[in-house]
């Protein structure tokens, strides 16, 4: 039997009991051992080194890791050694406990509610994740690692920030004193590749007929607003719509945190910038929209309109910049127009409400509204045409809608159906040489749709 002399300060729970690698306290003991080694590594490793070459830093971490194991005199199998080393490397160079969750393709959202509670979303359902942070400082260290490369900061004077990961995943951070449960991180993961329209059809988010219709609308340079609540897939649909833009056009994207993934060759990506430590240097979405008009765009794609920039977006759509795309948070297609009205009023221009509505009716051609159903699935639930003004009211007409019939075994059952109305802008599609089969606009019979 292998006999190893352990230093007196090593907890007996970490000592081999019969054969190398066997532990009396299972995973809990390994977790404590890993924490102990990590603390020693962090104490000895120069923090500036973690900003250098990753391969070089990995060598330094591996050397310190091996030295620590020798000092403790702990025999360990190669598998055990590699497993603990990978976790340590994630803590030092990556995002610690979040690394494994980010690597899991099934996880779509990660919600950190302080150091001891982490939730994940799989298939539209939230579950408690089997990971924890050591303390608030550990969470703050991960937050700094996320926001520092983007030139952003999080502290008591600026306790909220929007950021993104290198893969485009969206991150929101809020810390004490605003958060009473400790530092909170919300990560909305993006798939490794943007979902194509064909993949969205397979997932049941739309039908082939709807995809063909939207393709024609984008190619004909209609102004389209993608609306929906939080987590309904607005950015995913916006990415899919942007894939229909012809490659020969110059596209400008404007976002708070860059996350759109356009595949065309001529794309200029613009990203807003928060104020610096002195409270200066902020560049807003509104300023970027105004500047984009001077950059000779064929298409302007705004990741999300949420404030006074709505007025400038309307001005762009009404001054020859057709084919623009954007997203808006709302509960329905009709509510989208009300929200835009409110956001235009936030610009402080003191415009009459009728004038604002006339601008909206003239600018928007189509609203694609998304919903998140009871089973967690995300679908296009309503496609509406903005037809113009009648009196003081903006007239809208549904073209497609999703009709829910029942719920079976926790799954929402229903069907997509046209409303039977051909849009007024159909002549613009024909003028662009785009023709859609008349059957596309024929209402679907429920019985046939379910088969």
- Pairing state of beta strands 224-228 and 325-329? parallel
- Among 63, 78, 93, residue at a domain's last position: 93
Same domain, 348 and 219: yes
Q: How far is it, in rounded angstroms, from Cα 323 to Cα 152?
A: 33
Residues 359 and 297 in one domain: yes
First to last CA, the chain: 68
3-state helix/strand/coil string of 352-411 = CHHHHHHHHHHHCCEEEEEEECCCCCEEEEEEEEEEEEECCEEEEEEEEEEEEEEEECCE
Please name which of 303, 273, 46 lies closest in space to residue 168, comparing C-alpha atoms. Answer: 303
Beta strand spans in 175-213 (E): 184-188
Res. 415 pLDDT band, cuts 50 70 90 = very high
Q: What is the mean pLDDT of the chain?
A: 83
For 274-294, write each residue's pLDDT tens digit. 777 677 788 989 999 999 989
User: Rounded mean pLDDT of 96-111?
Assistant: 89
The answer to whether residues 353 and 435 belong to one domain is: yes
Q: 213 and 247: one domain?
A: yes
Q: How many domains does one find in the chain? A: 3
Q: What angle do CA 409, 410, 411 make, to 5 degrees?
A: 95
Any domain includes 255: yes
Final residue before a domain boundary, out of 165, 188, 211: 188
Whether 212 and 316 map to the same domain: the answer is yes
Same domain, 359 and 376: yes
In a domain, 338, yes or no: yes
Final residue belonging to a domain, choices 93, 116, 146: 93
Which pair of structure tokens corresponds to residue 18? 């019969």
Co-location of 393 and 446 in the same domain: yes
Are 293 and 426 within one domain? yes
Q: What is the mean pLDDT of residues 401-417?
A: 91
Secondary structure letter of residue 206 according to DSSP:
S
Q: Is the pLDDT of residue 171 over 80?
A: yes
Tell me the C-alpha distance between 285 and 183, whole Å: 27
Give the chain's length: 451
Structure tokens that stand for 451 in this block: 């088969």
* Kind of pairing between the strands at 160-164 and 170-174: antiparallel
Instruction: Evaluate if residue 90 carries a pLDDT over 70.
Output: yes
Q: Is the dihedral of CA 174, 175, 180, 181 positive or negative?
A: positive
- The average pLDDT across 95-120 equals 91
Is there a domain that residue 4 lies in? no
The conformation of residue 307, written as its DSSP 8-state character, comes to: S
- What's the distance, CA 275 to chain centroid? 22
Q: Which residue has the tokens 């019985």?
A: 447
CATH label of the domain that carries residue 107:
3.30.450.370
Residue 81: per-residue pLDDT: 79
**pLDDT of 149-170, one tens digit each?**
877 788 888 899 888 888 878 8
Domain around 342: 197-450
Mean pLDDT of 158-187: 90
Token pair in block for residue 335: 């509510």
Residue 2 domain-assigned (yes or no): no
H or E, element range at 342: helix 333-345
**pLDDT tens per residue across span 30-63:** 556 666 666 766 666 655 555 555 676 677 777 7
pLDDT at 400: 96
The DSSP annotation for 62-82 comes to: HHHHHHHHHHHT----HHHHH
233-271 residue pLDDT tens: 898 999 999 999 998 899 999 988 777 888 888 999 998
Residues 181 and 293 reside in one and the same domain: no
- Residue 221: pLDDT over 50: yes
The CA distance from 298 to 250, in Å, is 5
Q: Residues 59, 110: one domain?
A: no
Give the pairing type, strands 224-228 and 251-255: unpaired
**Do 142 and 269 have their domain in common?**
no
Rounded average pLDDT over 108-134: 91
Q: Are residues 136 and 208 in the same domain?
A: no
Confidence at residue 181, expressed as pLDDT on a 0 to 100 scale: 94
- Any bridge partners for residue 225, and if so which? 326, 367
User: Would residue 3 count as lying in a domain?
Assistant: no
CATH number of the domain to which 394 belongs? 3.40.50.300
Residue 22: both structure tokens together: 């066997």
Whether residue 156 lies inside any domain: the answer is: yes
Q: How far apart are CA 295 and CA 56, in angstroms?
A: 42
């Amino acid at each position: 039997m292998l006999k190893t002399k352990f230093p007196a300060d090593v907890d007996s729970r970490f000592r081999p009991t019969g054969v190398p690698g066997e532990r009396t306290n299972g995973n809990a003991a390994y977790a404590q051992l890993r924490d102990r080694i990590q603390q020693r590594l962090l104490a000895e490793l120069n923090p500036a080194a973690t900003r250098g070459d990753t391969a070089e830093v990995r060598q330094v971490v591996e050397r310190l890791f091996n030295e620590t194991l020798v000092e403790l005199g702990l025999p360990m199998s190669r598998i055990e050694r590699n497993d603990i080393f990978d976790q340590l490397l994630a803590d030092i160079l990556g995002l610690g406990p979040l690394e494994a969750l980010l690597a899991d393709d099934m996880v779509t959202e990660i919600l950190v509610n302080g150091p001891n509670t982490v939730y994940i979303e799989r298939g539209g359902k939230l579950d408690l994740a089997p990971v924890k942070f050591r303390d608030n400082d550990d969470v703050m260290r991960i937050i700094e690692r996320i926001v520092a490369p983007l030139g952003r900061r999080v502290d008591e004077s600026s306790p909220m920030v929007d950021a993104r990961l290198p893969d485009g995943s969206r991150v929101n951070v809020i810390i004490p004193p605003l958060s009473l449960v400790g530092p909170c991180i919300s990560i909305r993961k993006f798939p490794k590749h943007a979902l194509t329209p064909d993949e969205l059809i397979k997932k049941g988010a739309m039908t082939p007929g709807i995809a063909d219709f939207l393709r024609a609308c984008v190619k004909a340079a209609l102004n389209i607003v993608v609306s929906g609540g939080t987590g309904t897939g607005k950015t995913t649909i916006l990415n899919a719509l942007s894939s229909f833009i012809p490659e020969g056009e110059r596209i400008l994207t404007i976002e708070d945190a860059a996350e759109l993934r356009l595949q065309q060759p001529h794309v200029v990506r613009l990203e807003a910038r928060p104020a610096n430590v002195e409270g200066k240097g902020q560049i807003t979405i509104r300023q970027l929209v105004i500047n984009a008009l001077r950059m000779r765009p064929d298409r302007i794609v705004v990741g999300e309109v949420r404030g006074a920039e709505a007025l400038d977006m309307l001005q762009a759509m009404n001054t020859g910049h057709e084919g623009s795309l954007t997203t808006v948070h709302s509960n329905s297609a009709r509510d989208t127009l009300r929200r835009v009205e409110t956001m235009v009023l936030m610009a402080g221009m003191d415009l009459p409400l009728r004038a604002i509505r006339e601008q909206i009716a003239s600018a928007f051609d189509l609203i694609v509204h998304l919903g998140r159903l009871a089973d967690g699935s995300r679908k296009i639930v309503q496609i509406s045409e903005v037809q113009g003004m009648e009196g003081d009211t903006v007239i809208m007409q549904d073209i497609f809608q999703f009709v829910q019939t029942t719920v079976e075994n926790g799954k929402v059952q229903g069907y997509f159906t046209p409303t039977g109305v051909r849009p007024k802008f159909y002549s613009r599609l024909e003028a662009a040489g785009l023709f859609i089969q008349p059957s596309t606009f024929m209402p679907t019979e429920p019985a046939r749709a379910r088969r």
